[in-house]
Amino acid sequence: MTERSPLAPAAFPALPDIGGVTLRIARAQYKKWDRCDLTYVELAPGTAVAGVTTQSLCPSPEVEWCRDALPLGQARALVVNAGNSNAFTGHRGRAAVEAIAARVARHLDCVPSDVFISSTGVIGVPLPIDKAEAGLDAAFAAPPCSWEDAAATIMTTDTFAKAAVTQAVVDGRTVSLVGIIKGSGMIAPDMATMLGYIFTDAAVDAPFLQSLLASANRSSFSCITVDSDTSTSDTVLAFATGAAGNAPLASFEDAGADAFAAALADLCRQLAHLVVRDGEGASKFITITVDGATSDTSAHRIALSIANSPLVKTAIAGEDANWGRIVMAVGKAGEPADRDRLSIRFGGTEVARCGLAVDGYDEAPVAAHLKGRDIAIDVNLGLGDGRATVWTCDLTHGYISINADYRS
């Protein structure tokens, strides 16, 4: 495994059990790894589900399966494998998904549409049905495992297992939300990101959970990028078991709905940040904030233009305060901008404004800021009230090394 990211948290967080959720792992041996590669989650009857999936026009059959099942709003199981994305595999890939759903449905005595499926790994290799079925049988017989085991099992090029937790008071009861996620490269979500799974013991009606997840996604997963590439398999699913016993949340008029929505948004933001902190080869976590745009949408596009620029990202990797590259990225975004109103800050130090370098600009504090792990870039366009924040990482030779050898 690649050396642990220098931006990784010190330790895996302490996570509570979620009533109605049972985790198991197994080895399907999709790839020559000496570790488990299949996570199987059993969910209590009555569990509500919501999800967002990739906007890629070449989605995997797993993504299509989830899209078809999500409107039904209920789930009994989740199956996630690493080592093979099963994307771009034609009818054989779809057959593998159907076989997985059928086997789990027989095991749980439920309908196949209650089974949600994700795969991650190499594109273009059909998922072997025999390995999938053998892996599932092993998972059915396996003892329950920890959150950390489940999170580690879905990793590919990730260097650390990723998880987060939040809580909220709903209907006088404390409910918990736990999320696990994988992702390190091919990260520029146009909806959600990578593979992420959220579990809560709160009772939430599926349509309301869907609206809350979509809203949380817009300010979290859709605001991160590692390399400007959107995966064929990106999926985020949220499962609400209702084990906490609260009156089901169906709208913002219900007691605790605001608190639950805030907790979900916070959890999604935590998970999104973890993905960036494990960006392939990353050594810097970069926050880019754009103010003064003509709209929030315009600000978002400009921020992503900066975040996805190889020239910006390599400058940060080299700890070079080259603010001219920020100007370049703003100008190429295709959004309203005025050179003579633009201002730029690195770590709170203004370096340029009104089309010029700041008089008496001292690069020393900026250079000191760029030597740190957490970098802040602020841009003000001076045109309106639009604002957006996105998160990215720097671009180092480590990214090339990881992806040049990915299939070996």
Residues recognised as catalytic:
193
**Amino acid identity for residue 356 in this structure:** L
| Helix boundaries (H) for 114-186 | 129-141, 147-153
157 has binding-site annotation: no
371 is known to lie in a ligand binding site: no
Q: Which amino acid does the sequence have at 339?
A: R
The annotation status of 220 as a binding-site residue, yes or no, is no
Q: Residue 360 burial (CB < 10 Å; 0-12/13-18/19+)?
A: exposed
CB atoms < 10 A from the CB of 401, how many? 13
**In what helix (H) or strand (E) does residue 386 lie, and over which residues does it extend?**
strand 386-393
Handedness of CA 114, 118, 124, 127 (dihedral sign): negative
Q: What is the crossing angle of helices 296-307 and 324-331, to 10°?
A: 130
- Name the DSSP class of 396: -
- Write out the DSSP string of 29-43: -SSS-SS--EEEEEE
The verdict on whether residue 156 carries a ligand-binding annotation is yes
Q: Which two tokens stand for residue 42?
A: 């059993």
Are 306 and 228 in contact, with CB atoms under 8 Å apart? no
How much of the chain is in helix, strand and coil states, percent to nearest 5? 35, 25, 40
Coil, helix or strand at residue 7: coil
Distance CA 223, CA 392 (A): 9
User: Is 280 marked within a binding site?
Assistant: yes
Q: Are 329 and 312 in contact (CB under 8 A)?
A: yes
- Residue 230 assigned ligand-binding role: no
Q: Residues comprising the binding site? A: 156, 182, 193, 280, 403, 408
Tell me the binding residues for substrate: 156, 182, 193, 280, 403, 408
